[in-house]
């Protein structure tokens, strides 16, 4: 099974699932299975952090470049909120993860916003200016800021 894992990951998944269904525990590639299960958790957290960064980036752009607001920014904001909501619905144990990641995601979004807008990074607040409840609220958008 270990050779299959390296040669054809999808086949390895199918074979592992079949072994588990048929209770052939002794044939399961346990070492790689553990790695993959742990990776799933990391992937879910990474997805939430990525969507939160994307969301904060577009909220900053919405606030600091009101003249450039677009439907695509609004679509991105809506989609990020939806993706975070879906991830938490699938894994309720991750409900507090956006709170844990808010500042880190904001710092990434802040750097990206400065690069994408050409606005000096110092213009954007050093700490996240938004409460998480508002960030995730489907009806909330920040007001325009004077630069």
pLDDT tens digits, residue range 99-140?
999 999 999 999 999 999 999 999 999 999 999 999 999 999
DSSP state of 120: -
CA atoms within 13 A on the CB side of 31: 5
CA atoms within 13 A on the CB side of 81: 18
3-state helix, strand, coil in the chain (%, to 5): 75, 0, 25
Say what the pLDDT of residue 145 is.
Answer: 84
DSSP state of 72: H
pTM: 0.84
Per-residue pLDDT of the chain (147 residues; tens, 9 = 90+): 788 999 999 999 999 999 999 999 999 999 999 999 988 889 999 999 999 999 999 999 999 999 999 999 999 999 999 999 999 999 999 999 999 999 999 999 999 999 999 999 999 999 999 999 999 999 999 999 876
């Amino acid at each position: 099974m270990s050779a299959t894992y390296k040669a054809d990951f999808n086949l390895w998944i199918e074979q592992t699932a079949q072994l588990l269904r048929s209770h052939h525990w002794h044939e399961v590639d346990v070492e790689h299975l553990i790695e993959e299960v742990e990776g799933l958790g990391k992937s879910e957290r990474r997805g939430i952090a990525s969507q939160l960064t994307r969301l904060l980036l577009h909220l900053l752009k919405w606030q600091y470049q009101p003249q450039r607001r677009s439907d695509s920014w609004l679509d991105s904001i809506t989609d990020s909120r939806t993706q975070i909501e879906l991830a938490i619905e699938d894994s309720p144990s991750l409900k507090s993860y956006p709170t844990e990641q808010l500042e880190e995601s904001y710092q990434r979004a802040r750097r990206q916003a400065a690069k994408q807008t050409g606005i000096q990074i110092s213009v954007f607040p050093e700490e996240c200016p938004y409460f998480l409840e508002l960030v995730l609220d489907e009806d909330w958008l920040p007001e325009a800021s004077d630069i």
